[in-house]
Amino acid sequence: MCPQTSESPRASIQTLQMIITCNMGLKRKTPLKRTPIKKTPWDKAKKEQEKKKAKAGLSKSKLRDKLDAVFSKYIRLKYSDDKGYCRCISCGKVFPWKEIQNGHYMSRRYMSTRFSEDNCRPQCVACNIFNQGNIQMYRRALIKQIGEQRVDLIEARARTENKNWSLFEYNQLIAFYQKEVDKLLEQKFKKNSL
């Protein structure tokens, strides 16, 4: 019921009309003030952590890009011969390890298999980029190398698992693969210089 008209509304339109007419006459004497939100210790700790990250320049995307570069170098060196040449897994052509790319069987968008050594092999630019990974030939060659069961496992992991890498994991993987790259460079290319 409207206090001014003391009528009960019969329909929703009448209800809206009453609300509008009743509220038009009301004016606030003091404007509404926003009350400040109190900061919790959690908010303060989070803000400090963000400041430290910004200061150090360590964001997940930068660490992911750095790990991509180190991991790619590791895969290409791992599958190169003593003279520094790699064979493309899809087409079989041979290229120097610096000119070939790290091709992923399951796309890099699947974070659970992005840094899996079973999922990655050297691949030429033509197959990796221009032929969209040349997946059919890649799969055939991968089955010959690691077996169909492990290839099926890669496919299942990519489609069912969702991995959210932490900053700690990125840093640990970068350190691990950088050591592996250094070992491979020393093993493969110091022999040839002697």
Residue ranges of the domains in the chain?
Answer: 66-157
pTM above 0.85, yes or no: no
Express each pLDDT in 49-70 by its tens digit. 766 766 666 788 999 999 999 9
Q: What is the pLDDT of residue 14?
A: 60
Lookup result for tokens 């609300």? 19
Express each pLDDT in 71-89 by its tens digit. 999 999 999 998 999 999 9
Q: Which residues of the chain have pLDDT under 50?
A: 194
Residues 6 or more apart in contact with residue 105 via CB below 8 angstroms: 119, 120, 121, 133, 135, 138, 139, 142, 151, 154
Measuring CA to CA, which residue among 121, 122, 107 is closest to residue 157? 107
